[in-house]
C-alpha cells in the first residue's frame, strides 16, 4: 500500500499516523466477523451461515414521507409488540436489532474503571466485542460440557460484575439454558448485577421464554429481535424488555431517532394478526426442514455428531470441518465455521434453509462421504 501524503498550510508534504490519535483498544481490536463480511455478500450462493430465514415476507411500505424525523420510540410499534409478547408497553424499548441493546446496556451500566461483564462461551461473540470496543473488562466462564451454566464457578466470580449475558437458546450451540439456573442467578445478583437473557431465537421454542419473570425480578432484561423467525434480518429491529426503571435509563442513553420510519412501518405490519399467523406457520416449516436436515446429516459418513437444537440452525461436528467447509464453499454453499471457538473443534453451524437448499447441501455431503 502506498504511503499517503497530505499538504500543510505551506503546501509542504507530510504524512499522518492516525493510530497515534485512535484509542489503543480499537487499534488492536479484532472486529466481529459477521456472516455478510465473511461471505462478501455473495447472494448467488446458498447462504446457510447467518441463521436468517430463507422465507421472504411480502411487506410493502405504507408511508413515503421521509422529510421529518421519526418517533424516537414508535408508539404503535411498541403497542403491537406488547400485544405480541405479553409485556406492558412501559417495559419495552425498541432498538436497532438486539445488537444495539447489548451495547446500550454496557454504556448505561458499566464504568470502565472497575466494572465487568460476564458471559459463557461458546456463545454469541458480540458480548465480548462490545466490551472491548467500550473498554470494559469482561470475564468469560466456559460452559459445562453439556453447555449449561457452571454456577459453582460463576458464584465465585461475581465481584464487580454489572451485567451477565446469557444467550437462550444459545448461539451457536442451539441448546436451552436451564431455567432454574437462570432464576438462581437472578436471585443471587439482585441489587448487584443485571441479568440479560438474549432470546433472539425464542420463537422456535416460545414456551421456554422467561418474559413472565420481568415483573418479579427488577434485574432481568430480555433481548428480542425481528431478524430470525420474523424473516426481517435486513430491517434491524429489536426490543429490550425490562422493568420501567431500566427502560427509563436506557432512554437517556439511546440515540435520539434510532428507529427509521420505514423500519417502524414494516415492523408494525409484521406484528399484525395476519402476519403473526404467517410467522408461526413459517417457524413450523423451518422446524420441519430442520428435522429433514438432521435425518439426512445422520446418513453422511463425514459427520461425527449432530447436536440437539431448539433453534433454526444445527451445530454439526465433522471429522474434518475445514475440509468440509472449503468443499461446500466451492460448491456455492456457505455455512458458519465454529472450529475456532472454545469446545467446538471441527464444528460447523448450519442454518436451516428451504427444502431445495437442504437437499443440495445433503447431496454434496453425500458425495464427500463417498470419497
Tens digits of residue pLDDT in 251-301: 999 999 999 999 999 999 999 999 999 999 999 999 999 999 999 999 999
User: What was the pLDDT predicted at 36?
Assistant: 61
The per-residue pLDDT for range 149-176, each reduced to its tens digit, is 999 999 999 999 999 999 999 999 999 9
Q: What is the 3-state secondary structure (H, E, C) of 304-337?
A: EEECCCCCCEEEEEECCHHHHHHHHHHCCEEEEE
Contact 233, 31 (CB under 8 A): no
Domains within the chain, CATH numbers bracketed: 28-53+275-369 (3.90.1150.10), 75-260 (3.40.640.10)
Query: Which of 216, 244, 251, 215 minimizes the C-alpha distance to 90?
Result: 244
Alpha carbons 91 and 244: distance in angstroms, whole number: 5
Region of poorest pLDDT, from 20-29, 237-246, 252-261? 20-29
Backbone angles phi, psi at 316, to 5 degrees: -130, 130
Alpha carbons 52 and 234: distance in angstroms, whole number: 9
Strand partners, 225: 238
User: What was the pLDDT predicted at 2?
Assistant: 54
Inform me whether the pLDDT recorded for 3 exceeds 60.
no
- Quickly state the pLDDT bin for 26 (edges 50, 70, 90): confident
User: What was the pLDDT predicted at 333?
Assistant: 95
Contact 347, 181 (CB under 8 A): no
The per-residue pLDDT for range 179-215, each reduced to its tens digit, is 999 999 999 999 999 999 999 999 999 999 999 999 9
Evaluated on CA atoms 59, 60, 62, 65, the torsion sign reads: positive
Supply 126's cell numbers: 458480540
220-225 and 194-198 strand pairing: parallel
Mean pLDDT of the chain: 94
Alpha carbons 110 and 104: distance in angstroms, whole number: 10
Region of poorest pLDDT, from 25-29, 35-39, 48-52? 35-39
Q: Is 165 helix (H, G, I), strand (E, B) or coil?
A: strand
Contact 226, 96 (CB under 8 A): no
Contact 270, 239 (CB under 8 A): no
Amino acid at each position: 500500500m502506498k504511503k499517503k501524503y497530505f499538504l500543510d498550510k505551506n503546501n509542504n508534504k507530510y504524512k499522518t499516523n492516525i493510530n497515534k490519535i485512535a484509542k489503543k483498544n480499537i487499534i488492536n481490536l479484532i472486529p466481529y466477523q459477521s456472516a455478510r463480511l465473511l461471505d462478501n455478500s455473495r447472494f448467488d450462493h446458498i447462504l446457510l451461515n447467518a441463521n436468517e430465514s430463507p422465507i421472504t415476507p411480502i411487506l410493502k411500505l405504507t408511508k413515503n414521507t421521509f422529510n421529518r424525523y421519526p418517533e424516537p420510540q414508535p408508539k404503535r410499534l411498541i403497542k403491537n409488540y406488547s400485544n405480541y409478547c405479553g409485556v406492558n408497553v412501559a417495559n419495552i424499548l425498541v432498538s436497532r436489532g438486539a445488537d444495539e441493546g447489548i451495547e446500550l446496556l454496557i454504556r448505561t451500566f458499566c464504568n470502565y474503571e472497575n466494572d465487568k461483564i460476564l458471559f459463557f462461551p461458546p456463545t454469541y461473540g458480540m458480548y465480548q466485542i462490545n466490551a472491548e470496543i467500550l473498554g470494559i473488562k469482561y470475564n468469560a466462564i466456559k460452559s459445562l460440557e453439556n453447555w449449561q451454566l457452571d454456577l459453582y464457578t460463576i458464584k465465585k466470580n461475581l465481584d464487580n460484575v454489572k451485567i451477565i449475558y446469557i444467550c437462550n437458546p444459545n448461539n451457536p450451540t442451539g441448546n436451552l439454558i436451564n431455567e432454574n439456573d437462570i432464576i438462581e442467578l437472578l436471585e443471587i445478583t439482585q441489587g448487584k448485577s443485571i441479568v440479560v437473557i438474549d432470546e433472539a431465537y425464542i420463537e422456535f421454542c416460545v414456551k421456554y421464554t422467561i418474559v413472565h419473570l420481568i415483573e418479579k425480578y427488577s434485574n432481568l432484561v430480555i433481548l428480542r429481535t425481528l431478524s430470525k423467525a420474523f424473516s426481517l434480518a435486513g430491517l434491524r429491529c429489536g426490543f429490550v424488555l425490562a422493568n420501567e426503571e431500566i427502560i427509563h435509563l436506557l432512554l437517556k442513553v439511546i440515540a435520539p431517532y434510532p428507529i427509521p420510519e420505514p423500519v417502524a412501518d414494516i415492523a408494525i405490519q409484521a406484528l399484525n394478526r395476519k402476519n403473526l399467523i404467517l410467522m408461526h406457520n413459517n417457524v413450523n416449516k423451518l422446524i420441519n426442514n430442520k428435522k429433514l436436515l438432521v435425518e439426512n446429516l445422520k446418513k453422511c459418513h463425514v459427520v461425527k455428531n449432530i447436536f440437539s437444537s431448539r433453534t433454526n440452525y444445527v451445530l454439526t461436528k465433522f471429522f474434518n470441518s475445514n475440509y468440509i467447509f472449503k468443499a461446500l464453499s466451492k460448491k456455492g454453499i456457505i455455512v458458519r465455521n465454529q472450529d475456532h471457538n472454545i469446545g467446538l473443534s471441527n464444528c460447523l453451524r448450519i442454518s436451516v434453509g428451504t427444502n431445495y437448499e437442504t437437499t443440495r447441501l445433503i447431496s454434496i455431503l453425500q458425495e464427500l462421504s463417498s470419497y
